[in-house]
């Protein structure tokens, strides 16, 4: 499995800090969008609640969460700075 990441920490932001056009888009898909933290990665906004926690015995032991795009690819997150920031990665198999 190939994992790609540049290791750049990104800030999590609350709903009210999202641009207005993004707020209207995500509020259509999330009933309580204002309760979640959001992070922008590769031009997309990700809701941190969408990521599934992964354990040390998973295929991604050095990561904290994963969100599948397809059966063979997805996005990984690692919490840093006491959970205040996030490092993103992509996996492919």
Q: How confident is the model at residue 18 (pLDDT cuts 50, 70, 90)?
A: very high
Domain that holds residue 34: 2-92
DSSP string, the chain: -EEE----EEE-EEGGGS-HHHHHHHHHH-TTGGGSEEEEETTEEEEGGGSEE--TTSS-TT-SEEEESSSSEEEEEEEETTTTEEEEEEEE-
- The pLDDT assigned to 93 comes to 86
Q: Which pTM value belongs to this model?
A: 0.89
Give the per-residue pLDDT at 55: 84
Per-residue pLDDT tens over the stretch 29-73: 888 888 999 999 999 999 999 999 998 888 899 999 999 999 999
pLDDT level of residue 7 (50, 70, 90 thresholds) = very high
The number of distinct structural domains making up the chain is 1
């Amino acid at each position: 499995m190939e994992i790609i990441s540049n290791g750049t920490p990104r800030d999590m932001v609350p709903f009210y800090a999202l641009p207005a056009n993004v707020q209207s888009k995500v509020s259509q898909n999330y009933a309580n969008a204002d309760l979640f933290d959001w992070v922008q990665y590769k031009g997309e906004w990700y809701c941190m609640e969408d990521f599934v926690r992964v354990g040390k015995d998973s295929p991604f032991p050095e990561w904290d969460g994963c969100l599948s795009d397809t059966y063979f690819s997805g996005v990984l997150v690692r919490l840093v700075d006491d959970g205040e920031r996030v490092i993103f990665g992509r996996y492919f198999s």
